[in-house]
Structure 1
Amino acid sequence: MDFAFITKVSPMFFDAALLTLQVFALGLFFSFLVGLFCVAMYFFRLNFIYKICSIYIEFSRNTPLLIQLFFLYYGLGKLGFHMSSFACAVLGLSFLGGSYMAESLRAGIDAVKKQQLEAGLSLGFSKMQLLRYIILPQALGICMPSISANTVFLFKETSVVTIIALPDLVNTMTSLNSLTYKTDELLFLLFISYLIIILPMSLFLSWLEKRLSYV
């Protein structure tokens, strides 16, 4: 193991990790927004729009992110819609993550007792107030383990964006390996980089699950 080489290229992995985190953070944010929109359509019984959301959810969950990125980056490019690799990566993660977040939130809402809904209506709450103040806070506590799993899954999926030439962690490793052939050292750095990010994330999400859970 060449530790001098590891020290030399570590700053490049640090920059790649920051870029990966940016893509992940934006993808997670928009995934949650998409999930909230889909579940709001479900809650308010806007059937036509929710049917469109259902088609999107099934399509997104049943196609690989790799194929989605190919379509967004190369397919749309052929049609004249050109995006940067960064924008494409964020859009791809949001498209994939939104469907998983929507299903997690829907399961949480379905698990909230109907008496809670009836109590809110009897107090004169509007459906929007019910969703915001009664249903969603309880639903988040119920579905937080699923959301946590989806969050970690979404970060792991960032490893796929290397296919569209985004200089993320995997792309940095493969590029350096093609130049230096230091495979063991580069794989070690890649492993450590993901571990340093995912382990604290998992611990934080576990703590958040306990904070939001209720008996």
Structure 2
Amino acid sequence: MDIDILKEYIPLYKEALILTLKIGWQGIFLSLILGLIGAAILHFKVPVLKTITGIYIEIFRNTPLLVQLFFIYFALPKVGIQITAETCGVLGLGLLGGAYMIETFRSGLESIPTIQTESALSLGMTNGQTFYHVILPQAVSVSVPGLLANVIFLLKETSVFSTISLMDLMFTAKDLIGMYAKTIECLFLLVVFYLIMLLPVSLLGAIIERRARYGQFGD
């Protein structure tokens, strides 16, 4: 292990980490929005949209992110839709994550007893008010473990962004290994920077999960 090489490469990995986090969190934000919308559609059994949402879930949960990125990045320009590599990464990650988030939110919504909806409606609340103020907060609390698992999963999936020439952590490691053959040093830094990216999320997630469980059960 060459310490001087590690010091020389660290700035490159820092830049790659910033790009990876930028694309990763934008994709996660998009996936949360899609997850909430899709879960609401399934929960209220909206005609037509329910079928479309179901097809979307099956397609994106049963195909690899790599294939989805290739389709977005290489196939869409053939029909006149030009997008940058960064936009492709955000869109691909968001669409993949959205399929998982929908199922996570949906399971949370279905876990809320029907009596709560009936009680809210009997008090004069509208369906929208009942969903927003009574059902959704509890469903999100129940869904916290699954949501956190999805977030970590999506951040790890950013490792395939190198296939569309994004200078993420994996691309940087592969590029440096190819040019200078410093395999041990490059892979060591790759592991370290992935831990820097994922460990805080995991630790923060454990705290949030405990607080959510305390809010539900009081212990």
Please tell me the TM-score bracket, short chain as reference.
over 0.9
Q: Which amino acid aligns with 1:190?
A: L
SS for the counterpart of 1:47 is coil
For the pair 1:125 / 2:125, whether they are aligned, the reply is yes
Residue 60 (structure 2) aligns with: 60
Distance 1:53 1:155 in 2: 24
How do residues 82-101 of structure 1 correspond to structure 2 at under 5 angstroms? 82-101=82-101
Q: CA deviation at 1:128?
A: 1.4
Aligned to 1:188: 188
2:143 is matched with 143
- Structure 1 residue 42, shift from structure 2 partner: 1.9
Residue type of the alignment partner of 1:60: F
Secondary structure of residue in 1 paired with 2:80: coil
Is 1:201 aligned to residue 201 of structure 2? yes
Aligned partner letter, 1:40: A
1:177 aligns with 2:177: yes
Deviations 1:160-201 (A, max 9, x none): 111000000000111111111000000000000001111111
- Shift in Å, 1:81: 1.6
**Who is 1:22 aligned against?**
22
2:104 corresponding residue in structure 1: 104
User: C-alpha distance in 1, partners of 2:182/2:77?
Assistant: 35
1:13 aligns with 2:16: no
2:162 corresponds to 1:162: yes
Gaps of 5+ in 2: none
Deviation (angstroms), 1:67: 0.3
RMSD: 0.9
| Worse-matched range after superposition: 93-102 or 71-80 | 71-80
Verify the 8 A CA contact 1:73 1:164 in the aligned structure 2.
yes
After the TM superposition, which segments of 4 or more aligned residues of structure 1 sit over 3 Å from their partners? none
Shift of 1:77: 2.0
TM-score, structure 2 normalization: 0.96
The residue that corresponds to 2:37 in the other structure is: 37
- Mapped to 1, the partners of 2:18 and 2:172 lie a distance apart of 12
Shift of 1:6: 0.6
Distance 2:79 2:114 in 1: 48
Please report how far the alpha carbon of residue 10 of structure 1 lies from its aligned counterpart in structure 2 after TM superposition: 0.3
> Is 1:69–1:88's contact at 8 Å kept on the other side of the alignment?
yes
Q: Could you tell me how far 1:5 is from its partner in structure 2? A: 0.7
Aligned equivalents of 2:127 and 2:11: distance in 1? 51
1:32–1:98 CA contact under 8 A, matched in 2: yes
Kept in 2: contact 1:140–1:212 (CA 8 A): no
Q: 5+ unaligned residues in a row in structure 1: which ranges?
A: none
TM-score (norm 1): 0.98
